[in-house]
């Protein structure tokens, strides 16, 4: 797992052909928007979260974010314990995000 600044996270993700963005916030938090292309997996729905994580391709690179970076860091640690090698936590999360945001409803 690596904690990356917004600049590092975006730059690395843009050059990563295996990048997958994961949003681990609650459904209610999605009301402020979601990073385009992100997959929503609520870390607080532990059973579903674990099942969904287990189904992911362990060879991909996962760029994970939440509101401030704590839960996404926890998600990255869980993923590392499950054998994921490439997990990247967004330091500061959505609170510090100044990139593009879209409505979650547009993603479904």
Report yes or no: 35 and 23 within 8 Å, Cβ to Cβ: yes
Report yes or no: 65 and 33 within 8 Å, Cβ to Cβ: no
Catalytic residues: 66
Alpha-carbon span 8 to 65, nearest angstrom: 13
């Amino acid at each position: 797992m690596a904690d990356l600044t917004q600049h590092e996270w975006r730059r690395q993700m843009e050059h990563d052909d295996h990048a997958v963005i994961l949003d681990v916030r609650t459904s209610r938090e999605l009301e402020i928007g979601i990073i385009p292309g992100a997959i929503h997996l609520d870390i607080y729905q532990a059973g579903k979260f674990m099942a969904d994580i287990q189904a992911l391709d362990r060879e991909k690179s996962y760029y994970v974010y939440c509101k401030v970076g704590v839960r996404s860091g926890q998600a990255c640690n869980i993923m590392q314990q499950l054998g994921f090698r490439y997990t990247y936590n967004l330091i500061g999360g959505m609170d510090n995000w100044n990139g593009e945001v879209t409505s979650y409803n547009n993603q479904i």
